[in-house]
Amino acid sequence: MARGTGRGGSTGAPRSVDVARIAGVSQKTVSRVFNDEPYVSAELRRRVLDAAEELGYRLNNAARALASGRTRSIGVVTLGTALYGPASLIMGVERAVRDMGYALRVVNTVEGDPAGVVGAVDSLLDQGVDGIVISEPIDDGRDGDLAARLDVDVPVLVLGAPPFSAPRSLVAGVGADVMARTATEYLLDLGHVTVHHLAGPQRWFAARDRAQGWRSALVGHGRAVPPVIEGDWSAASGYAAGRRLASDGDVTAVFTANDDMAIGLIRALTEAGRRVPEDVSVVGFDDIPVAAYVTPPLTTIRQLFDVVAQDGIKRLVHTIENPQADPLPASEPPVDLVLRASTAPPPTRAPLGRGRRRTASRPDGCGPAPPAETMVPAQN
């Protein structure tokens, strides 16, 4: 395929002057866009990028790296799992990195790999990345004291995990405990005496955070804390847990650590003759695309992966490009509890929890919640 043939009919490798001509801007504006300089309007930036894509123009990154001391690349360390949450977060990171005008380099870790995160970070540093994103959801001890073993001289953004000591480290994607507490308190407010929990594998940071939020809600309301059932994020493990819980007539509400397990749980409860939500209410976590279409549609916590990724990458790039400046403050995305038809008051009225949300039931005060989605903000 011939490249660099634009509207003016020129051939050969396209130049910035060609991009300027197609976009109808000055060559200086093209330079400012590709150097990610401020004070360029979004409309001008889009015209320049569209023209560059049309011409097949690529900035000479090697020359720019020599001039600036930076490669304009960001490395990502990730477990490489296909699970919805981590995969969605990485997709959001990829979009955010490209929107900021940086290249992305990804190193996948493998569970049980002795090198683990340390080896992945070393590999990225050898490639000369300007910053690193660590999206490693598992803590299984394979890297020991990670903070002590990482020798990092570039900014690091840690997603959804505790921070570690580094000269310039940032954290994003935390707060799963607050989301879990919101889900649990919603069930208590419906009138359930207590809430059972189907947790994810406890070597995952997210699973531990969600269990902590569930437990803190029960303790804060003076309710009994049932034993945790641990799954593996799969619908099959939710189904197995549902078979166990179905035989316990005292179970009227379950908060699950992800939607896949919630769907398996509902299947097992239904097969055992326990109706959802008439007998048992179920709340999931993530809001996977199918959650609105299962029977019954699933009440769940919606995670805003793109918001987390964009905020984190914006802060990381700011630290890369302004090494002497204070880091940008992290934003707190809203907690979205999406009400659907898998939750209702318990079959036998128990004393109501504090601040019961009556909007979660029908206007006549009985029966399950309407299937239409309703957004409920977190209660601090």
Residue type, 369: A
Tell me how crowded residue 249 is: count the other CB atoms within 10 A of its CB: 9
Residue indicated by tokens 């309703």: 374
What is the structure's pLDDT at 229?
A: 98
What confidence tens digit (pLDDT) does each residue in 100-149 have? 989 999 988 876 554 578 888 888 888 889 999 998 777 755 444 554 45
pLDDT digit string, tens, across residues 83-103 = 899 899 999 999 999 999 899
107, amino acid identity? V
Highest mean pLDDT among 60-64, 123-127, 235-239, 326-330: 235-239
- pLDDT value at residue 16: 77
Q: Measured between alpha carbons, how far is 301 from 287 in angstroms, rounded to an integer?
A: 6
Q: Is the pLDDT of residue 1 over 60?
A: no
Q: Given its phi and psi angles, is residue 226 left (phi above 0), alpha (psi -120 to 50 degrees) or beta?
A: beta
- Beta-carbon-side half-sphere exposure of residue 104 (alpha carbons within 13 Å): 20
- Please report the pLDDT score of residue 214 as a whole number: 98
pLDDT of residue 152: 78
Half-sphere exposure in the Cβ direction for 300 (13 Å, CA): 25
pTM for the full model?
Answer: 0.73
Sign of CA dihedral 313, 315, 316, 321: positive
* Count, residues in the chain: 380
What integer is the mean pLDDT of 268-295?
97
CB 193 within 8 A of CB 350: yes
Distance in angstroms (rounded) separating the CA atoms of residues 14 and 8 = 11
Could you tell me if 296 and 342 are in contact, meaning their C-beta atoms sit under 8 angstroms apart?
yes
Question: Please, is 62 exposed, middle or buried when counting C-beta atoms within 10 Å of its C-beta (0-12, 13-18, 19+)?
Answer: exposed
- The answer to whether residues 183 and 337 touch, using CB atoms and an 8 Å cutoff, is yes
pLDDT at 263 over 70: yes
pLDDT at 128: 86
Tell me the mean pLDDT in the region 160-184. Answer: 85
- pLDDT greater than 60 at residue 293: yes
Least confident window among 34-43, 286-295, 335-344: 34-43
What DSSP assignment string belongs to 103-159? EEEEEE--TT-SSHHHHHHHHHHHTT-SEEEEE--B--STTSSHHHH----S-EEEE
Q: Is the pLDDT of residue 279 over 50?
A: yes
pLDDT at 341 over 90: yes
Question: What integer is the mean pLDDT of 255-281?
Answer: 98
Mean pLDDT of the chain: 82
Give CA–CA dist 265/15, Å, rounded: 59
Q: What is the mean predicted confidence (pLDDT) over 231-244?
A: 97
For 30, the enclosing helix (H) or strand (E) is helix 27-34
Q: What value does the mean pLDDT take over residues 256-261? A: 98
pLDDT at res. 307 = 93
> Token pair for residue 233?
């994020």
